[in-house]
Structure 1
Amino acid sequence: MRFPRFFGKKLGHRRTGSQAWASFGDGAFHAVLLAAGLTFGGLLLSGVAVPEWRINHRFLPTTCTILGKGLARRTTAAATATASADGLGSSAWQPCLRVRYRTMTSDVENWSRPPRRTLTSDREQALAGLKAWRLGDSVPGWYDPDDETTVVLERGYSWWMWLLTLLLPGALVSFGGMGLARAIQRWGKSQERCAVPSRYSEILDPLATGPRHAIDHPGV
C-alpha cells in the first residue's frame, strides 16, 4: 500500500508540496463543513421545523375549557452547567393553561403546550401573560391525534427559525459540498494540470484576452 508523498517535484532549490496531500487536506476540511451543515440542519428540522409543521397540519381542532392557570419552569442548559452548590440557577418561565377538551375517543384534561415565543426569564412578565385568560372560558385548541394528551392553544410558524434553518446549514452544505467535489476532482492531478484553464474559461472570463491582442484593434 503506497501513501501519497508529502513532497512533489523539485522546482529550483525547493520542493513543492504534494498535490495529493493538499487535495486530501482540502477535501477533509470541506467534508467537516458538509457534515456540520447536515448535522445542524437535521437538529433544527427535528427540533423546530417538524414539530411546528405537525401542529399546523396534523393536529386536530377541538374546543378547550380553561380550568387553571400556572407557570412552567424551564431550566436552561447554561443554568444546568453553571449551577451553584446550593442548587440554584437561572430559569425561564412560560405561562400554561390547564384545559379540558374532547377528542375523538374521550374527554381529556391536561396542561397545554405553551408556544416557544412565550419563554422568558422574567417571572413577572410570564405572570402578566396569564391575565388575558379567564377561568371557565372556552377557547379553540388543537390536539395531537397520535398523543391525545398533547394540546396547543396557538398555531403558527417561527419564521426566523425557518430562515435560520435554510440559510446557515444551507450555506455550510453548499460551501462544503462544492469544496469536497473540487478536491475530489483535483485528486492525483499535478499542479500544472490543475493550472490549465478549462474550455469554458473564455466564456466565464471574456476579458482574459486584452484588446491589444485583437486583430485590427490595438490596445490603448
Structure 2
Amino acid sequence: MRAAQAMHHLVAEQHGMVGRASVRALRRNDAAFYAGQFSAVRDAVCACTGGHPQADNVALLALADALARFYVFAPGSEWSAWLDGAMRMASWALVNAIGADGGDTDLKAIQFVAEWLVRNRLHFESSAELDRLERWGAVEDRRDRPGFRWWVFSSVLDQALAGANFDRQKTLLLMADEGVLEGPAGRGFTRQKRFGDSRVYCVCIDNAALEALLERSAGAPPSVAPSQGGGPC
C-alpha cells in the first residue's frame, strides 16, 4: 500500500512532457555513441574497483545520470561537466557497493543516514500525512544560499540507527565535528522545531555539508577520457 502511495506521489510530481522530449533528444544520437560512452565510463569505474561485480551497474547509473542532467536539467550545456559530476556520484556509489573497512564504521553510519534520508524523503514532505504516511520531520529550503536542511525527529533517527546497529552518540558526534549538524554549540545534537501546535526535538542536518563529507570520504572520483566523438547532440 505504501509503495503504491509513494509511486502515486512521485508520478504526480514528475509526470509531464519531459519524458517524451528526452526520448526524442536521446534518439538524435546513434547506438554507437552510447555504446562508446558507456565503455569509457565503465573502464573508468572498473579501474577503481578491481573488477567488482557492481562496477557495470554503477557505470550505467553514472552515464544515465549525466544524460538526464544534459537533456532534462540543462539542455545544451557542457557535456564534460555533467559527465564529471556523474563520476563524482559514481565514486560515492562505489564506496557503498564495495564497502568500507572496519575502521570506517562511523563513516558507514553517516552513509547509512544519507541513504536513509533519501530513501524515506516522502516521510519528510508536507504532504506526508495527506498520503497517510507517518511524519518523520521536514525538509526546509535555505533562504540565504542554495540547498536545504533536514529536520529529523530525534526519536525516529535514534530508532533507524539502532536498527542498523550503529552508535547514535558516535555518529552524531562525527557529523557535528564535520559541520553536518546545525545547532547551538555545546548544547547537544538536537534543536526544537514547531510542528503544528507542538514542538519536537529534531536533529538538523545540512544536506550540502552531508553530500560534501561523503564526496571527500570517497576520495578523488574516477575520470573519463575525452570522447573522440564529442558530446551528445
Normalising by structure 2, we get a TM-score of 0.22
Q: Which structure would you say has the larger RCO, counting Cα contacts within 8 Å and 6 or more residues apart?
A: 1
The structure richer in helix per residue is 2
After TM superposition, the score normalised by the length of structure 1 is 0.23
Q: Which has the larger radius of gyration?
A: 1
